[in-house]
Amino acid sequence: MLLFGISTAHGEDLAIDLSHNEVAITTAFSGTDLLLFGATDQNKKSDIIVVVRGPKGKEIVRHKEHVMGLWINSGEMEFVGVPDFYTVASSRPLNEILPEDVLKREQIGAHRLVFSPIAGTTMGPEKQAAYHEALLRNKRRQGLYATDIGDVTFVGVNLFRTTLHFPAAVPVGDYRIETYLVRDDKIVTRHETEMRVHKIGVEEEIYNFAHQQAWAYGILAIIVAGLAGWVANAIFRKA
């Protein structure tokens, strides 16, 4: 399944193609790689940045404190607009390609992501920053925010490619892949591609069953367990 798109924001074309436009989570799923390749229509030396953003959601950050000898969750902060997944690939280090203010504005690089704490927080800016930093750190540890910037490699002057890695724990949902064509400290063209991460086959059926018909699922789980126990007993007796 190939996806093809052309973007002509500044009169300069950027064609992008993905090896697949979906990540299918099957029973044997343990992470996967997608190949992204593209071409520019002019023979000028330029740079490419690819940003993958997962679906946005709410995330709660909890802070443990030492209370009576035990480590207990005692503070929390909720953030909205947190991408479940985030990764970046580029042809050169980001700060050599674009000025910091542009990177910040476009939220390129995990530490430049902006999340807003849910309204009504009474915490001071220093505490908020600590929670914000903790959110990034935990996402990185879970492998959901890339720790390294991936490589975009050029084949000739106007053909490029990169491999995007999705770990086993990749969250399901609609993803956005943004590709930036950069020259002389400026974004020349921006191209956006949609991609979907979803469960298929048995995985999808069990998940949907469990969520849509929770009562039936629970009862069935018990029947299956009861039968399994009965069969086990029958085998025991013969053995």
Partner 1 sequence: MQIYLPIAEVSVNIFLILGMGGGVGFLSGLFGVGGGFLMTPLLIFIGIPPAVAVATEANQIVASSVSGVLAHWKRGNVDVKMGVMLLIGGVIGSTLGVWLFTILKELGQIDLVIKVSYVVFLGIIGSVMFVESLRTMMHRQKQAAPRRRVHNWMHGLPLKMRFHRSRLYISVIPTLMIGVVVGILSAIMGVGGGFIMVPAMIYLLGMPTAVVVGTSLFQIIFVTANVTILQAVNNFAVDVVLALLLLAGGVIGAQFGAKAGAKLHGEQLRVLLAVMVLGVCGKIGFDLLITPVDVFSIGPVGGH
Q: Does 202 bind partner 1 (CB under 8 A)?
A: yes
Asked whether the CA dihedral 154, 155, 159, 162 is positive or negative, the reply is negative
What minimum distance in Å lies between the beta carbon of 176 and partner 1? 19
What minimum distance in Å lies between the beta carbon of 123 and partner 1? 14
Cβ–Cβ under 8 Å, residues 49 and 94:
yes
What minimum distance in Å lies between the beta carbon of 138 and partner 1? 4
Q: Does 8 bind partner 1 (CB under 8 A)?
A: no
Give start and end residues of each alpha helix (H) in the chain.
94-97, 100-106, 125-141, 202-212, 214-238
Cβ–Cβ under 8 Å, residues 26 and 206:
no
Q: Does 2 bind partner 1 (CB under 8 A)?
A: no
Instruction: Please identify, using beta-carbon distances, which residue of 14 and 25 lies nearer to partner 1.
Output: 25
Instruction: Tell me the number of residues near partner 1 by CB under 8 A.
Output: 61
Q: 215 by DSSP, 3-state: which?
A: helix
Residues 66 to 85 in contact with partner 1, rule: CB under 8 A: 66, 69-73, 76, 78
What minimum distance in Å lies between the beta carbon of 29 and partner 1? 4
Q: Does 203 bind partner 1 (CB under 8 A)?
A: yes
Instruction: Please identify, using beta-carbon distances, which residue of 99 and 226 lies nearer to partner 1.
Output: 226
Task: Sort 51 into a burial class: Cβ within 10 Å, 0-12 / 13-18 / 19+.
Answer: buried
Instruction: Please identify, using beta-carbon distances, which residue of 8 and 213 lies nearer to partner 1.
Output: 213
Q: How far is CA 21 from CA 18, 55, 128, in A?
A: 6, 15, 37
